[in-house]
Amino acid sequence: MKAVILVGGEGTRLRPLTCNTPKAVVPILNRPFLEHLLDYLRGHGVTDAVLAMGYMPDPIQSCLGDGGQLGVRLTYLVEDSPLGTAGAVKNAESYLDEPFLVFNGDIITEIDLSAMMKRHKELKPKTSIALTPVDNPTIYGVVETDPQGLVQRFVEKPTWDNVTTNMINAGIYILEPEVLTLIPESTPSMFENYVFPRLLEMGERILGYPSDAYWIDIGTPEKYLQANHDLLVQQVGTGIQSEGKSQIHPAAQIEGPVLIGGGCTVAEDARLRGPVVLGPHCEIGQGALVQGAVLWDHSRVGEEALLSNCVVCSYGYVEKGSRVSDNCVLGEGVTLASGSILDRDTKVWPDGWTGLNATRS
């Protein structure tokens, strides 16, 4: 099967991580996010993907090229204006003459895609939708199915007294090509509130494929941080992994899981308490404490600074004695002056950034 990966969004919820970097290539364990997704697809035999792009397409294409180094073949389609999830796939119709996959471009998962494809071939529905359980279904749209797994109803943000299932749309679909005839050309439309309900109205079968395998949407800084932590524990366990030559002082204290990019410097009495990710060419000053944090390339942490469960984007600098609390984000190139304190959940935008929908806290 071919896959269409939806990477056209601006990543507004993920800002300031996405002020200057498309969500599709924000680093997860020092690799562009899409590389993880393409590895996953290749592991299930999917080696041909169409990237439906809109916002900041050039950095994505520059990063991934033709996909050959990843063992896949990539086709790039750029929307002139946002077309929504369904409209973006309609835009790729000329490439889709057989059943195909659709992926929201912000998902990391271990759902058994091969088993889902097998089930689709057995039951031959018009569409299959991967479903994943959540603790609080009232903030999502849930999907009700019958004992055979066929979708009966979509319920948007049910109240607790109306909750009949905790299974939500996981953003992974298998579609028969004829479904595309329902989607208007060059017009914004969504699978979730237009195409799928329309199929049910027509009496067509939609298969729900439930799975309790790992699944996360990296659409917010908090989820982005969690995904790095989860994958680091999975990949490294409690160990320390180095991606190249770095200078680690013998008196530095490192407790895994920790991933250290090439060219890093960790000074005397600096402490790294995992899960921690250091991008390439990061510097950790003497006596600094970095715990639960993700630092992008060329970030610097001054002497005696404290970072806890936060993200520092490329070329960020936390100066001497500063404190950065849980769920804080320093945007690209931001310098936090000596002795500063960032309270929990504070987001600091890159200097001078004036993108659409900018908000600051």
Alpha carbon of residue 135 to chain centroid: 20
Task: Give the whole-angstrom CA distance, residue 262 versus residue 280.
Answer: 5
| Structure tokens, 184 | 């208007």
* Structural Rg of the chain based on CA atoms: 22
- Write the CB contacts of 241 (distance below 8 Å, at least 6 apart in sequence): 235, 257, 258, 259, 260
Task: Give the whole-angstrom CA distance, residue 301 versus residue 313.
Answer: 12
| Annotation says 157 is catalytic | yes
Choosing from 23, 90, 157, 347, the catalytic residue is: 157
Indicate the DSSP class of residue 246. -
Compute CA distances 347 → 133, 301, 308, 326, whole Å.
Answer: 30, 17, 14, 11
Residue 217 has phi, psi (to 5 degrees) of: -100, 120
Q: Which residues are catalytic?
A: 157
